[in-house]
Amino acid sequence: MYSYIEVAMSKWITSIFGWLIALVCTNGALVHIFNILGKGEKPWGEFPLLWRSMDVVLLGFNLVIIVGLILRIPWTVLVLFGGMMMLQWLPYTIFRSQFVVKPEDHATLNGLIGTEALILIVYAGLIWWQGKPT
């Protein structure tokens, strides 16, 4: 599997999609930075401890993914898939009530989960398609 990822990341289409994922993660990192700096909807200290903890963890996760995908480091793909499941899908489904402040937050979380699922499905497909050793 690791060789599939390494081969796929060397192909232009998978590499470009990796850069697009890095761009999306850059947006996520900026959101977490603004939250931590208190430039979000309200001062950072007013958010629950779980939110603040997740801001810090997800900022670190995003930074690892950004650098890893830009540099085409194969293990980054495994971190991306595992991190999305453990740091996004699991908390936003099992602990959803902790992340909902207003009713429209449900739609936002659903949108995040759906978008991330689509991105990972396309990326997995590209790795499968482009990863066959020549």
Please state which of the ranges 11-20, 45-54, 118-127 shows the lowest mean pLDDT: 45-54
> What is the chain written as a DSSP string?
-HHHHHHHHTSHHHHHHHHHHHHHHHHHHHHHHHHHTT-SSS-GGGS-HHHHHHHHHHHHHHHHHHHHHHTT-THHHHHHHHHIIIIIIHHHHHTGGGG-SSTTHHHHHHHHHHHHHHHHHHHHHHHHHH-S--
Question: 1 pLDDT exceeds 90?
Answer: no
Q: Give the pLDDT confidence of 69-112 residue by residue, as tens digits.
A: 999 999 999 999 999 999 999 988 888 888 787 888 889 999 98
Instruction: State if pTM tops 0.85.
Output: yes
